[in-house]
Amino acid sequence: MASSTSTTSTSTWTNQRRRFLSSSKDVLGSSSSSISFCKKPNARTAQNSTLCALQTPSILQFPKQSVGKTSTCPVELPSSSSSSSSSPVVQQNWNVLQKFAAMALDAVEDGLKAREKLQTLPKTADPNVQIAGNFSPVPEQPVRHCLPVAGKIPEHIEGVYLRNGANPLFEPTSGHHLFDGDGMIYAVKFDNGSASYACRFTETQRLVQERAIGKPVFPKAIGELHGHSGIAKLLLFYARGLCGLIDVNQGLGVANAGLVYFNNHLLAMSEDDLPYHVRVTPSGDLKTGGRYNFDGQLKSTMIAHPKLDPVSGELFALSYDVIQKPYLKYFWFSPDGKKSKDVAIDLGKPTMVHDFAITENFVVVPDHQVVFKMSEMITGGSPVMYDKEKVSRFGVLDKYAENGSDIKWVEVPDCFCFHLWNAWEEPESDEVVVIGSCMTPADSIFNECNEELKSVLSEIRLNLKTGKSTRRPIISPENDVNLEAGMVNKNLLGRKSKYAYLAIAEPWPKVSGFAKVDLSTGDTQKFIYGDEKYGGEPLFLPRDPNSEAEDDGHILAFVHDEKTWKSELQIVNAMTMELEATVKLPSRVPYGFHGTFINAKDLATQA
């Protein structure tokens, strides 16, 4: 993998209302009074950072600076005062006993942190690795209109492009994984060839309470919940809840992963909570409406990748549980938001089901080898683990099934797909075809490992008659690249599609461009963002739902220049693979997760 020399810059949290460790030495071994997550690694550090497939030296690269000149990396300081909604001041409502309990629990927490400082964090939980460079957080930005545009914005692009991401409000006080950050949405609104930009936190109950208290108190699911210290932090969390210092019944989620627009609602999601309703204002700003339970119908979490059927207008979703059965539930919503009953799917053990697929008549549910084993925390391990004894499989269930016992399981050994791009039926061969990126090692995103991560775009065929499967790489080995995050033409979701538009995740985990892949031949056209420019998930926006050509449309992607430390939105013609317009953004956009586009007509009918 490519790597280059890093240079120094700073990114700090300095809000005086927040309560941090007494010095940055507590986390990073520095005596500075403020925390810097952008440190220049020495040669030994850079070499060692390749040991984990998730993090390579590329994640520690920062903008080059000229000697004697002002840094090209401006310091951007998250400020709770910039929030788009007010927060309760929790401490003012505490009685004397609660204040005493708060002090006692804080003292216990300080002791726990002192013990943690004696241990070395794995790179998958080290904030100095996980949120360095352009993975580091930014503050909210109010709407900026009439942004500079190079080229011409295509006429059919009218509405708003939104992308979600993990953007921690507070400095991590211990372990932190990239996925643990608070949800922030970055929005570019298009109106008659003009563009505006804003970014806002999704005001989750977790963020609102932590902002009011002035420090992080909710445990971080991946970065902190491992080993004995993870158990202690869970106990601290529930002790604060029992004392009435926090409300543990209003959701723990960060809403930082997926976005979907359904039944006049923009929903921000992470698989650990209900969705959050977010509204796009006429000016292009973002306002959080709160946790959204579909008018009281949804009583469980919902994964961040629900599937919107382009023909029926129905929304299909899953919910998984890591503690009690049923470990997995399936349900769907009618176009007007009426929920079906939950359909329990029998899994032998709690499993991470981050994504799934739909076809015209079925849902396709992966049951892979990344599982949850809470007892591992007792022996000092992580509850997210790879189960080498388990055989991966895919379940095929009728879309409108009322009983999960009707699911047909087909084994697909040694297959872990974090994301599935599409699926369709081929009745002539009794097969369901699934397109996904098969990732190895399967748990390398969550647990430190020595093996280099690979993500292979694959065609998986599930024969419903024989119960057998086949799997093949779509791109020839000599031309293969890591492809992770992307989509097909949304009008063909669940139907046979020719193309997929996927992020080129190299040098991993950064994205140097995207690939347009012919799923039948493996022919690949690449678009590279530019020298030392990296981005994220490409979003394909069809020009017209009735276009004869499947690739008639444009690809939108946020891109960050690591030389100038500036960000932009690139708009690429999907047919010619040529850049047509670039929107210059007023502030940095960190590398993030998944997005969506809401057209102007739908914006006008928001709830």
Q: How does DSSP assign 261-320, residue by residue?
A: EETTEEEEE-TTS--EEEEE-TTS-EEEEEE--TTTT--S---S--EE-TTT--EEEEEE
Looking at residue 375, what is its pLDDT? Answer: 66
pLDDT confidence bin for 557, thresholds 50/70/90: very high
Can you tell me the mean pLDDT for 345-365?
89
Choice among 26-35, 37-46, 275-284, 287-296 with the minimum mean pLDDT: 26-35
Cis peptide before 441 (omega within 30 of 0): yes
Residues 74-105: tens digit of each pLDDT: 333 333 333 334 444 455 588 888 888 888 88
Phi-psi map region of 275: left, alpha, beta (phi>0 left; psi -120 to 50 alpha): beta
- Per the annotation, does 265 bind a ligand? no
Mean pLDDT in residue range 261-280: 94
pLDDT given at position 85:
40
Report the 10 Å Cβ neighbour count for 87. 15
Mean pLDDT of 225-239: 79
Position 416 pLDDT exceeds 90: no
Per-residue pLDDT reduced to its tens digit, 561-581: 999 999 999 999 999 999 999
Q: 493 pLDDT band (50/70/90 cuts)?
A: very high
Residue 145, annotated as binding a ligand: no
Phi, psi of 225, deg, nearest 5: -85, 70
Q: In what order do the strands lie in the sheet with 183-191?
A: 141-144, 194-201, 183-191, 159-166, 595-599
What phi, psi does 482 have (nearest 5°)?
-70, 120
Give the residue from 376, 398, 395 showing the smallest Cα distance to 387. 376
Over residues 128-147, the pLDDT tens digits come to: 777 888 888 999 999 999 99
Place of tokens 């929030």: 83
**Residue 156 in marked binding region:** no
Q: Give residue 130's pLDDT.
A: 77
Separation CA 471–CA 393 (nearest Å): 12
For residue 286 the two structure tokens come to: 């973002």
pLDDT at residue 457 tops 80: yes
Helix (H, G, I), strand (E, B) or coil at 142: strand
Confirm if 261 and 252 have CB atoms less than 8 A apart. Answer: no
Q: What is the pLDDT of residue 545?
A: 84
Round the average pLDDT of the chain to a whole number and report it. 81
Query: Are 482 and 489 contacting, i.e. CB atoms less than 8 angstroms apart?
Result: no
Kindly state the percentage of the chain with pLDDT values over 70. Answer: 82
Strands, E assignment, 95-166: 141-144, 149-151, 159-166
Q: How confident is the model at residue 378 (pLDDT cuts 50, 70, 90)?
A: low
Q: How many CA atoms lie within 13 A of 67 on its CB side?
A: 0
Average pLDDT over residues 43-56: 33
Q: Provide the whole-model pTM.
A: 0.82
Check if the beta carbon of residue 415 is closer than 8 Å to that of residue 486. no
The answer to the question of whether 419 is labelled as a binding residue is: yes
